[in-house]
Structure 1
Amino acid sequence: MSFYSDASAEDMGDELETLGWYHYDLSRHAAEALLLSNGTDGSYLLRNSNEGSGCFALSVRAKDSVKHFHVTRRDNGYVFGFNEFATLQDFVNHFANQPLLGSDTGTLIVLKCPYPWRVEEPSIYESVRVHTAIQTGRTENDLVANAPSLGTKEGYLVKKGAVVKNWKQRWFTLNRYELKYFKDKMCEEPIRTLDLRECSAVQFDYSQDRVNCFCMVFPERTFYLCAKTGVEADEWIKILRWKLSQIRKGR
């Protein structure tokens, strides 16, 4: 099996660019999305690190997560863990042997197969039957690219008040480790921002006189929230618990 694309090092100007699994400008976030969506346990790829010239990252799918490891280029060789490789070919040959990778946290991963940067797709297209512009007068500037980032969620929940124990609908947004709630969807300034790094638990709650409730436990207060449906409440609980697990892994 060849690890290289058809381009030569002379054409590309950098020998790494001849490596079929070197994803030049792929971010950490995008690498995780790619390997979790399309990769399998043991899939890996090499990408640039944001730590400067000569620094790279090996991103590896480990079951339901992605681990990242440092790779450094010195002169013409490569340093990976305790190993130094004099040439790129030696570095690639090492991976061809499906090495067992161990980390400080005790994770053991077999590097099974590289994830190629160029993926062949079948050239099968639907033929166009109807092509009608819905609105007229719009230009490229009216096109707004919109895609939620990984691990985000938003929607209306009903929240129990801290002092006056009434229930009010609020618009909630979850991004990274911040859960914000607003008076409504159109408001730009949140009423409050909750730091999930301070949250100790998220769970269904059956103590209230409402259905589809869950609670979030913080040192100074427990927040009681209700969703419209049990499925929606379960979705909020699952993603919030996932966030808490990510926080604990990083500690």
Structure 2
Amino acid sequence: MSVSSTRSSGEEIDELESVCWYHYDLSRHTAEALLLSNGVDGSFLLRNSNKGSDCYALSVRAKDSVKHFHVRQQFGKYSFGFNEFPSLQDFCSHLANQPLLGSETGNLIVLRFPYPRQVEEPSIYETVCVHTVMQTGRHENDLVPNAPALGTKEGYLVKQGAIIKNWKQRWFTLNRNELKYFKDKMFVEPIRTLDLTECSAVQFDYSQERVNCFCLVLPERTFYFCAKSGAEADEWIKILRWKLSQIKKGR
């Protein structure tokens, strides 16, 4: 499976799709959560990077953290560290035969287990928060292809009211196919639960007189939210879009 410098971008995408551990637009946040909750030391995956259309990120679990390494694709070649590979096949072969990466601490990171994209998030993912205490005793056999599809994120957003168009801060949680919002983090019962299986789109919104806004389009109404920063809004959009893509694929 050679790659020429004249191959089209469509062919490059098709070739990437043949790599079982390529996860498309998986966000950094979700990659960390998946590898920490359902991976093992040495689990790794490839995903798109927000650095540009020709940039990717190799995310690798190294003990109790996840490291991210830049990969660039240009004219059919893949640049990774100080190495350049003439094809994706050569790049993959290099990772399989010389699976050693140097981290900023000087320690070597070994690529042991590719994390396949067909493996869904495990049920325990609901209680896992990125950068928190790890669960121990998990191994590669815990990767269950038919585990329930979940997604998780939580945090404060400012939400626009339905009738009176005022803005109020609410606590949001994303689990499975449900986006719930609460009056505050301390409350147990949500004000409302939004069913993402009915959602048609999520995107940045510039119609409001506020910054860092995005909207969620449902049949009965379009919901408007504002995050504390552009980066936070982007993270919500990416994980929601990823979740919608999983729903559309019937996972």
Identify the TM-score tier after normalising by the shorter chain.
0.3 to 0.5
- In our comparison, the structure showing a higher alpha carbon Rg is 1
Between 1 and 2, higher relative CO (CA 8 Å, sep ≥ 6) is seen in 2
